[in-house]
């Protein structure tokens, strides 16, 4: 084992390796005629590495102290399984460790075991969601689960959608569908409205869509970090007066820094009568609608025309897992369909490659399906309960005497900085405190928000216990 010290992260060049050993009589592909012991040797070996890593996670730190890189380029002769596994072990030792109880920096929880298995099986099947003949069972699974999830999150009967490799892509596809359905496809003047706290992926989407940066109108947020509806109304009236077409209004259900939820019901009431497309970016918050006890936190989610949800962010589905869900999923094919001339027609609906930007797609649906089935609805509820309880517990432990400015929504995110510290002073404080936390095996992130750095705890890690929360609070208190 390599020495693990919390700081700093250094990278060392690869160690010299003995002469390469060729594959010891086994082929690099699984034998389709007979059971080859080499297949299980490699797969079992990989599973052992991974279980070993899981089991040792708490003894390590969230960030590795040392990163020893294996050789990168393929050698002249291929490597035997033992050597491949040895290389993997090195990479694993330099990996970020989401399983550590002190890992609370980002929206990257430990992976659900069933979703790890789902990923492995999906890779082994190597089906392609591009077309139904390349993924007969998985295409059906994808359609059905998208429909189920859309309904479970409150979208109307007939709703459904498509998985995408990440929320940024879901948001981009949503805006492209909105533009198409509003007949604005060739229009260079159309604008998108969202709050100042909306996700950076919207700026990327606008750029990809060939619109100028000014096409993204960011509106002020209230003291709780929610889109201020009066400014939305005022902006819409102004655009209307100037004859500027609106491509979509984007509301966020769970902002990235503080987990704020825009007032979805009120925003929908502004959009509906005006015939405006409402996209809800629920990358963080939409999953709360899956549990009755928490659905009130995202009230109005089902009023969206389109909805982004990222099960990778809190439910622990392995990356990437994001879906774009729509009240009218047929718009996906209308927007993205090309006829796919080199494929047999689909049997049960549009091909996967006709319902979004991606062509060839892995069966990301498999790990989501297996993960949700492993948790069950009660397990999902318990995961959400735990995240909320940890946020509340940390909030209760932090100084409440006004020395700290706390920014927390109704979710599992809590951002803070000392009251009165701004600019360079806040940057220094956040950097020093983050380092002190890291030295204790506690990892928080350091977002720049409204011009000043904060520390942010994301409490979605089910391994984080009262011990870690108390240690964070102690360290923060000592920093003031
Ligand atoms: C994370 C996030 C996204 C982007 O998701 P990726 O999977 O990282 O592309 C979009 N919106 C919000 C609110 C997010 O927090």
Contacts of 318 (CB under 8 A, 6+ apart): 111, 112, 115, 116, 118, 119, 312, 367
User: Ligand 1 in contact with 283 (CB < 6 A)?
Assistant: yes
Nearest CA residue ID for atom 4, ligand 1 = 167
Q: How remote is the CA of residue 281 from the centroid of ligand 1, in Å?
A: 8
Whole-number pLDDT of residue 66: 84
Structure tokens at 363: 């069966």
d(CA 253, CA 167): 13
150 to each of 13, 142, 287, 302, how far by Cα in Å? 48, 12, 11, 8
For residues 386 and 453, state if they share a domain.
yes
d(CA 252, CA 224): 13
User: Ligand 1 in contact with 310 (CB < 6 A)?
Assistant: yes
d(CA 472, CA 465): 11
For residues 163 and 204, state if they share a domain.
yes
For residues 142 and 232, state if they share a domain.
yes
CATH of the domain at 214: 3.40.640.10
Total number of residues shown for the chain: 480
Q: How remote is the CA of residue 234 from the centroid of ligand 1, in Å?
A: 28
d(CA 71, CA 287): 41
Q: What is the DSSP string of 282-331?
A: ETTTGGGGGSTTTGGGGTTGGG-SEEEE-HHHHS-PPSP-EEEEESSTHH
Does the residue 331 lie in any domain? yes
Q: Which has more pLDDT, 218 or 18?
A: 218
Cβ count near 470 (within 10 Å): 13
Contacts of 171 (CB under 8 A, 6+ apart): 199, 201, 202, 205, 250, 279, 281, 283, 308
Whole-number pLDDT of residue 13: 58
For residues 383 and 369, state if they share a domain.
no
For residues 191 and 151, state if they share a domain.
yes
Q: Is the peptide bond before 300 cis (omega within 30 degrees of 0)?
A: no
Does the residue 264 lie in any domain? yes
Q: What is the DSSP string of 350-391?
A: S-GGGSSS-SS---HHHHHHHHHHHHHHHHHHHHHHHHHHHH
Give the model confidence (pLDDT) of 117-154 as tens digits.
Answer: 999 999 999 999 999 999 999 999 999 999 999 999 99
Does the residue 134 lie in any domain? yes
For residues 193 and 298, state if they share a domain.
yes
For residues 286 and 325, state if they share a domain.
yes
Whole-number pLDDT of residue 18: 55
For residues 226 and 168, state if they share a domain.
yes
d(CA 139, CA 145): 10
User: Ligand 1 in contact with 168 (CB < 6 A)?
Assistant: yes
Q: How remote is the CA of residue 397 from the centroid of ligand 1, in Å?
A: 29
Does the residue 111 lie in any domain? no
d(CA 386, CA 318): 19
Give the model confidence (pLDDT) of 18-41 as tens digits.
Answer: 555 555 546 799 999 999 888 999
CATH of the domain at 384: 3.90.1150.170
438 to each of 12, 155, 304, 412, how far by Cα in Å? 21, 42, 40, 20
The dihedral built from the CA positions of residue 158, 163, 167 and 171, taken in this order, carries a sign that is: negative
Confirm if 260 and 290 have CB atoms less than 8 A apart. Answer: no
For residues 130 and 190, state if they share a domain.
yes
User: Ligand 1 in contact with 166 (CB < 6 A)?
Assistant: yes
Q: What is the arithmetic mean of pLDDT over 273-293?
A: 98
User: Ligand 1 in contact with 198 (CB < 6 A)?
Assistant: no
453 exposed, middle or buried (CB, 10 Å; 0-12, 13-18, 19+)?
buried
The domain boundary, picked from 64, 95, 126, lies at 95
Strand partners for 246: 191
User: Ligand 1 in contact with 199 (CB < 6 A)?
Assistant: yes
For residues 145 and 194, state if they share a domain.
yes
Whole-number pLDDT of residue 5: 43
User: Ligand 1 in contact with 281 (CB < 6 A)?
Assistant: yes
Phi-psi region of 78 (alpha: psi -120 to 50; beta: other; left: phi over 0): beta
Nearest CA residue ID for atom 10, ligand 1 = 167
User: Ligand 1 in contact with 256 (CB < 6 A)?
Assistant: yes
Does the residue 110 lie in any domain? no
Q: How remote is the CA of residue 211 from the centroid of ligand 1, in Å?
A: 21
Contacts for 397-406 with beta carbons within 8 Å, 24 or more apart? 397/469, 397/470, 397/472, 397/473, 398/473, 398/476, 398/477, 399/476, 399/477, 399/480, 403/480, 404/476, 404/480
Contacts of 185 (CB under 8 A, 6+ apart): 179
- What is the chain's mean pLDDT, rounded? 94
Give the model confidence (pLDDT) of 435-473 as tens digits.
Answer: 999 999 999 999 999 999 999 999 999 999 999 999 999
Does the residue 105 lie in any domain? no
Does the residue 84 lie in any domain? yes
Contacts of 220 (CB under 8 A, 6+ apart): 195, 196, 228, 231
d(CA 447, CA 416): 10
For residues 465 and 383, state if they share a domain.
yes
Does the residue 33 lie in any domain? no
Give the lowest-confidence range in 65-69, 111-115, 369-373, 475-479: 65-69
The domain boundary, picked from 334, 356, 374, lies at 374
Confirm if 247 and 253 have CB atoms less than 8 A apart. Answer: no
Whole-number pLDDT of residue 9: 53
Cβ count near 243 (within 10 Å): 7
Nearest CA residue ID for atom 5, ligand 1 = 167
pLDDT for residue 15 is more than 90: no
Contacts of 327 (CB under 8 A, 6+ apart): 155, 156, 158, 159, 304, 305, 306
Q: Domain count of the chain?
A: 3
Radius of gyration of the chain measured on its C-alpha atoms? 24
The domain boundary, picked from 374, 389, 408, lies at 374
Q: Which domain holds residue 354?
A: 116-374
Which atom of ligand 1 is least distant from the CA of 167? 5
Q: How remote is the CA of residue 227 from the centroid of ligand 1, in Å?
A: 18
Query: Residue 53 in 3-state DSSP?
Result: helix
Q: How remote is the CA of residue 199 from the centroid of ligand 1, in Å?
A: 7
Q: What is the arithmetic mean of pLDDT over 334-362?
A: 89
For residues 152 and 194, state if they share a domain.
yes
d(CA 365, CA 149): 11
């Amino acid at each position: 084992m390599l020495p693990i010290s919390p700081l700093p992260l250094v990278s060392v060049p690869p160690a010299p390796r003995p002469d390469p050993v060729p594959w010891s009589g086994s082929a690099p592909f699984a034998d389709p005629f007979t059971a080859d012991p080499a297949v299980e040797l490699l797969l079992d070996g990989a599973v052992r590495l991974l279980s070993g890593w899981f089991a040792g996670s708490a003894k390590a730190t969230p960030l590795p102290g040392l990163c020893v890189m294996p050789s990168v380029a393929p050698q002249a002769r291929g490597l035997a399984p033992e050597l491949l596994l040895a290389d993997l072990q090195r990479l694993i030792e330099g990996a970020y460790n989401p399983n550590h109880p002190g890992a609370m920096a980002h929206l990257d929880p430990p992976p659900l075991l069933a979703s790890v298995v789902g990923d492995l099986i999906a890779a082994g099947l190597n089906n392609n969601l591009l077309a139904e003949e390349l993924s007969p069972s998985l295409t059906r699974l994808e359609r059905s689960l998208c429909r189920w999830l859309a309904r479970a999150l409150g979208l109307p009967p007939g709703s459904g959608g498509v998985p995408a490799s990440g929320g940024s892509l879901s948001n981009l596809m949503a805006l492209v569908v909105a533009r198409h359905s509003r007949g604005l496809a060739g229009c260079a003047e159309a604008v998108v409205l969202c709050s100042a706290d909306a996700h950076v992926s919207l700026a990327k989407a606008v750029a990809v869509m060939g619109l100028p940066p000014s096409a993204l109108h960011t509106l002020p947020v209230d003291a709780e970090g929610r889109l201020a509806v009066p400014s939305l109304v005022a902006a819409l009236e102004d655009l209307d007066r100037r004859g500027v077409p609106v491509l979509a209004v984007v509301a966020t259900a769970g902002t990235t820094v503080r987990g704020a939820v825009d007032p979805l019901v009120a925003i929908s009431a502004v959009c509906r009568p005006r015939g405006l497309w409402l996209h809800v970016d629920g990358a963080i918050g939409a999953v709360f609608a899956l549990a009755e006890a928490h659905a009130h936190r995202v009230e109005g989610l089902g009023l969206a025309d389109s909805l982004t949800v990222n099960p990778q962010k809190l439910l622990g589905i392995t990356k990437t897992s994001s879906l774009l869900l729509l009240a009218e999923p047929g718009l996906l094919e209308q927007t993205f369909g090309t006829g796919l001339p080199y494929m047999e027609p689909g049997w049960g609906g549009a091909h996967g490659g006709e319902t979004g930007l991606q062509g060839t797609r892995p069966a990301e649906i498999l790990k989501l399906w297996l993960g949700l089935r492993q948790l069950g609805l009660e397990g999902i509820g318990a995961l959400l309960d735990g995240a909320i309880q940890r946020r509340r517990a940390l909030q209760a432990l932090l100084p409440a005497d006004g020395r700290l400015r706390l920014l927390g929504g109704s979710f599992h995110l809590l951002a803070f900085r000392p009251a009165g510290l701004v600019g360079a002073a806040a940057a220094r404080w956040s950097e020093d405190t983050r380092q002190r936390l890291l030295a204790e095996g506690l990892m928080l992130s350091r977002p720049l928000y409204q011009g000043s750095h904060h520390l942010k705890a994301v409490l979605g890690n089910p391994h984080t216990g009262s011990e870690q929360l108390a240690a964070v609070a102690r360290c923060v208190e000592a920093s003031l």
